[in-house]
């Protein structure tokens, strides 16, 4: 059984027991997290596809940790003009352990 959820403008394929890194969530460590934007649910005997969301479906998990990803360098350059700019970016993320996929009906 798996589900496709949307959070932070991105889509993730999750199963029960998975640990996924999603865009940073405003929650305390160990707090329960619920994702209601479920786009697809696949069970053993059927597939539910939302238009755009599956009605009554949700995914529950627990926030395990928060952190920052590695540095991504952004380099701007214009030839013959002595223009160079280097900038770094570290995206914040949250690790969520998926506990349960709920399907209505």
- Of 88, 83, 102, residue with least CA distance to 41: 102
Q: What is the pLDDT of residue 65?
A: 96
Query: How far apart are alpha carbons 12 and 15 in whole angstroms?
Result: 10
The residue-averaged pLDDT of 55-81 equals: 97
Q: Spell out the domain ranges in the chain.
A: 2-102
The residue-averaged pLDDT of 5-31 equals: 96
3-class DSSP state for residue 35?
strand
Residue whose entry in the numeric block shows the structure tokens 């329960």: 32
**Mean pLDDT score of the chain, rounded to an integer?**
95
Query: How far apart are alpha carbons 80 and 96 in whole angstroms?
Result: 48
Secondary structure element (H or E) that encloses residue 48, with its range: strand 47-49
CA distances from 18 to 3, 51, 65, 96, 100 (A): 11, 25, 14, 8, 10
User: pLDDT (tens digit, 9 = 90+) per residue, 75-92?
Assistant: 999 999 999 999 999 999
The residue-averaged pLDDT of 53-75 equals: 96
Share of the chain above pLDDT 90, in %: 98
């Amino acid at each position: 059984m798996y589900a496709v959820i949307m959070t932070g403008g991105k889509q993730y394929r999750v199963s029960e027991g998975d640990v996924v890194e999603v865009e940073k969530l405003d929650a305390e460590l160990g707090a329960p997290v619920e994702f209601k934007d479920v786009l697809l649910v696949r069970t053993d005997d059927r597939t539910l596809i939302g238009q755009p969301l599956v009605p009554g479906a949700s995914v529950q998990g627990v926030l395990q940790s928060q952190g920052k990803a590695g540095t991504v360098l952004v380099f701007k350059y214009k030839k013959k003009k002595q223009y160079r700019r280097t900038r770094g970016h570290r995206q914040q993320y949250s690790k969520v352990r998926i506990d349960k996929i709920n399907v209505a009906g």
